[in-house]
Amino acid sequence: MRPYVALILDSFREAVVSWTLWLLVVPITLILLALAPASVREEVATTLESHELVSPVKLARRIRAEAEGTEPSPGKRIWSLLTSTERKAWERIAEPGSSPGERVQNRSRIRRALNRLIESEDLYDADAWRGVLLDKETQALVDQDASSLDRVDRQRRNRLLLQAAFPNYISKGGVRVVGRYFGFDVTSPFTMPGVRFRTFISDTIVPAVSGFLLGNIGVFIAIMVTSPITPQLFEPGSLSLLFSKPIVRSVAFLAKFFGGCAYILLCTAYLNIGLWLIMGWRFGVWNSGWWTSIPVFLFIFAVYYSVSASVGALSRNAIVAVAAAVLFWTAGFGIGLAHEFYYGFAIMPQQISH
């Protein structure tokens, strides 16, 4: 058993000292160093985005109609705070028959006017919002004096007041996210409607990064790194230099094979541990499912490496071994593509008809 363990360690050593090692370790290190300074900052929605106005023209008509009433109302309060120019524009907006281009401009005008009012300390009036049901967050903000609120709290209060008064026309704002790099904001705030940003990172970004780095590209580079291991095993005199007693060549082949897999396992673990720590420390996503990609990648690599190692043992040529693995991947991809076409054009129509 000791000679075969020595073969496993020798195959690992060959992979480590090979120049192709840099094709695997250096890109992994550079990727981790590039991702390490990235982070995000979450903030609650304050101002209105264009897509958050569900029906801006109907909203303008509703506010215009409430402004003509005699009783205090949110619409009447908003109308009183608009400038004369904004009132004239809203009166034109409320008229039917606008073109698509005008509707886009109308949405922009309404959003700008409402965002200006969101900055105001005078938007809230107790009589105007008397009949509007306010949630706990909004009620806590309106109970405070407007002058004592900072800018963000004032914007948040006014945004919630508009949402409560016109729930059918203004959608609830989701979490807004600002991308950061080296501690500086590098993106404008963008909304993640319907899903928390950390869930988006965990369910979308992490699988995408994992699929790219641990997919076909990662397997191909790993095959290149380990391709010389098996051909070197069967070179004349290679085994005699290691051992004084003869050993079974088939078992020696398996020992070399598992040595190459052990080396790739360590490289894959290095990448996954680095990404897992970055996602956790910088983005707050401690996804335990990330670890499942290690055995999955190792299994995929072992399948392709078995072809590469077998051809390398027969041909004693690393280039031929890599080419055989690429041809094997091409054949598998072609079979899968043919299956998808056959299922889509032959089997699925029959299932639908039945």
* pTM given for the model: 0.66
pLDDT (tens digit per residue) in 76-121: 999 999 999 888 888 877 666 666 666 678 778 889 999 999 999 8
User: Taking residues 190-211, what's their average pLDDT?
Assistant: 70
Give φ, ψ of 179 to 5 degrees: -75, 140
* Weakest mean pLDDT among 39-43, 183-187, 244-248, 302-306: 244-248
Q: How far apart are CA 297 and CA 59, in angstroms?
A: 54
Residue 32, pLDDT above cutoff 70? yes
Residue 185, pLDDT above cutoff 80? yes
pLDDT tier for residue 27 given thresholds of 50, 70 and 90: confident
pLDDT (tens digit per residue) in 299-350: 988 999 999 989 988 888 888 988 998 899 888 888 888 878 877 777 767 7
Highest mean pLDDT among 42-56, 134-148, 285-299: 134-148
Residue 109 in contact with residue 60, Cβ under 8 Å? no
Given this model, what pLDDT does residue 57 score? 84
User: Taking residues 271-288, what's their average pLDDT?
Assistant: 86
Residue 293, pLDDT above cutoff 60? yes
Given this model, what pLDDT does residue 73 score? 94
Given this model, what pLDDT does residue 33 score? 93
Q: Which residue has the higher pLDDT, 269 or 352?
A: 269
Residue 194, pLDDT above cutoff 60? no
Given this model, what pLDDT does residue 240 score? 45
Residue 2, pLDDT above cutoff 50? yes
Given this model, what pLDDT does residue 117 score? 94
Residue 16, pLDDT above cutoff 90? no
Residue 247 in contact with residue 332, Cβ under 8 Å? no
pLDDT tier for residue 21 given thresholds of 50, 70 and 90: low
What average pLDDT is seen over the chain?
A: 81
Percent of the chain's residues with pLDDT above 70: 81
Nearest to 287 by CA among 200, 194, 206: 206
